[in-house]
């Protein structure tokens, strides 16, 4: 079972439960507030930017293809480096990029519509600090909140100009899409900020309090227990020897055993209690262990053999030949 709680498969099983209390995946409670404060902090150093933020509903656990489909047509894509090998993506659409460029070059946000153009190095340079401040503020806001199962220590890495590079940088896993709509310069421009974050921890499933909890848990407990890991050991043989002999063992010493030992192995738990009997064999050119019939082991599945097809009916010519040349009776 995952350290963070329930794994995704078990979460789905519990969410599909037909009775008992409602179950849901635990998500951060103040995500909208965190976005508001982080984006306000990021825009504070830019006079005239005047950010107004409207958080949008997040999309949880998207695949890479769906995350790519959510990208705006014209945008700046900044790859973010996280702990270990994790990566995220911060996307600013053309309205946000143009507003940031304008306040740093002309001191105000131009009311003309954003230009549909390709991202330039100047765009990347003039938006880098804004993205860094946003990430820092967002990480501070989300630290310690229950339900955060993505990396928070994200740093600006590089700016991408070709969407095809995303497939090389991002594995086909699960991503959360966190976004907000921005109104900039008192309504002169608007745009959207999109944050892709990889799911790096198992989701935590929360069971709501309510009547019938005991009955619900009684129904769900077998599924929960079935997810628990069990460690087993394959024991080829056991020998008893004096302590003096054990202390004299050196690398290269031989411990003899009989051929019968290969057919009488034990599968034991971590405490040494035998659970199954087995014999040593091979499969596909590799050593393998075959479980033998015994207590605690279900019998082997019997696959019914396919019925033999009926012989085709003889033709008239074959019947005449049989009549003329009868076989042995």
Which DSSP string do the residues of 165-222 spell out, in sequence order? GHHHHS-SS-EEEEEEEEEETTTTEEEEEEEEEE--SPPPEEEPP-TTHHHHHHHHHH
Do 290 and 163 share a structural domain? no
Give the pLDDT score at 325: 53
- Consecutive H or E run containing 13: helix 8-15
Do 273 and 194 share a structural domain? no
Note whether residue 242 is domain-resident. no
Give the pLDDT score at 19: 45
Q: Alpha-carbon distance 57 to 255, whole Å?
A: 66
Q: Provide the 3-class DSSP secondary structure of residue 75.
A: strand
Do 268 and 152 share a structural domain? no
User: Domain tally for the chain?
Assistant: 2
Cβ contacts of residue 295 below 8 Å, gap of 6+? none
Give the pLDDT score at 228: 75
Q: Alpha-carbon distance 195 to 188, whole Å?
A: 23
Give the pLDDT score at 313: 65
Do 196 and 64 share a structural domain? yes
Do 173 and 32 share a structural domain? yes
Per-residue pLDDT in tens (0 to 9) along the chain, 329 residues: 333 334 444 555 555 544 445 567 889 989 999 999 999 999 999 999 999 999 999 999 999 999 999 998 889 999 999 998 899 999 999 999 999 999 999 999 999 887 778 889 999 999 999 999 999 999 999 999 999 999 998 999 999 988 889 999 999 889 999 999 999 999 999 999 999 999 998 877 776 655 555 556 666 677 777 777 778 888 877 778 888 888 888 888 888 877 777 777 888 887 778 888 888 888 887 888 888 776 556 665 555 555 555 666 666 555 655 555 555 54
Nearest partner of 113 among 193, 192, 187, judged by Cα: 187
Instruction: Decide if 184 contacts 104 (C-beta within 8 A).
Output: no
- pTM comes to 0.59
Do 284 and 141 share a structural domain? no
Domain boundary among 202, 217, 248: 202
Give the pLDDT score at 178: 97
Do 285 and 170 share a structural domain? no
> The dihedral of CA 205, 210, 212, 214: what is its sign?
positive
Give the pLDDT score at 259: 73
Give the pLDDT score at 244: 84
Q: Alpha-carbon distance 280 to 322, whole Å?
A: 55
Q: Alpha-carbon distance 138 to 110, whole Å?
A: 28
Q: Exposed, middle or buried, 198 (CB in 10 Å: 0-12/13-18/19+)?
A: buried
Give the pLDDT score at 293: 74
Per the DSSP assignment, residues forming a β-bridge with 288 are 281
Give the pLDDT score at 279: 82
Note whether residue 164 is domain-resident. yes
Give the pLDDT score at 215: 58
Note whether residue 180 is domain-resident. yes
Note whether residue 103 is domain-resident. yes
Domain harbouring 117, CATH code: 3.40.1550.10
| Domain encompassing residue 271 | 230-237+259-295
> Within a 10 A sphere around the Cβ of 1, how many other Cβ atoms?
14
- Consecutive H or E run containing 321: helix 316-324
Q: Exposed, middle or buried, 184 (CB in 10 Å: 0-12/13-18/19+)?
A: buried
Write out the E strands in the chain. Answer: 23-25, 52-55, 59-62, 75-81, 87-93, 155-160, 175-184, 189-198, 205-207, 232-235, 265-269, 274-283, 286-291
Per the DSSP assignment, residues forming a β-bridge with 280 are 289
């Amino acid at each position: 079972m995952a350290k963070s709680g329930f794994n995704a498969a078990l979460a789905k099983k519990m969410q599909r439960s037909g009775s008992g209390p409602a179950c849901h995946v635990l998500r951060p409670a103040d995500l909208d507030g965190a976005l508001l404060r982080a984006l306000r902090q990021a825009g504070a150093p830019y006079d005239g930017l005047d950010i107004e933020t409207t958080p949008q509903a997040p999309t949880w656990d998207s695949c890479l293809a769906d995350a790519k489909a959510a990208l705006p047509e014209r945008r700046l894509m900044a790859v973010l480096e996280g702990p270990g090998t994790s990566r995220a993506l911060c996307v600013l659409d053309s309205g946000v990029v143009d507003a940031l460029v304008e306040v740093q070059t002309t001191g105000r946000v131009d009311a003309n519509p954003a230009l549909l153009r390709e991202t330039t190095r100047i765009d990347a340079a003039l938006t880098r600090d804004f993205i860094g401040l946003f990430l820092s503020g967002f990480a501070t806001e989300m630290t310690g909140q229950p339900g955060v199962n993505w990396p928070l220590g994200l740093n600006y890495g590089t700016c991408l100009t070709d969407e095809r590079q995303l497939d090389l940088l991002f594995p086909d896993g699960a991503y959360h899409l966190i976004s907000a709509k921005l109104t900039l310069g008192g309504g002169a421009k608007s745009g959207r900020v999109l944050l892709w974050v990889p799911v790096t921890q198992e989701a935590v499933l929360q069971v709501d309090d309510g009547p019938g909890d005991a009955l619900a848990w009684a129904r769900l407990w077998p599924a929960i227990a079935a997810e628990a890991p069990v460690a087993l050991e394959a024991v080829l043989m056991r020998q008893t020897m004096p302590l003096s002999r054990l202390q004299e063992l050196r690398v290269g010493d031989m411990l003899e055993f009989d051929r019968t030992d290969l057919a009488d192995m034990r599968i034991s738990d971590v405490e040494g209690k035998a659970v199954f009997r087995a014999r040593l064999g091979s499969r596909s050119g590799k050593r393998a262990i075959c479980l033998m019939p015994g207590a605690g082991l279900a019998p082997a599945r019997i696959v019914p053999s396919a019925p033999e097809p009926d012989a085709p009916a003889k033709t008239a010519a074959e019947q005449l030949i049989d009549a003329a040349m009868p076989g042995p009776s």
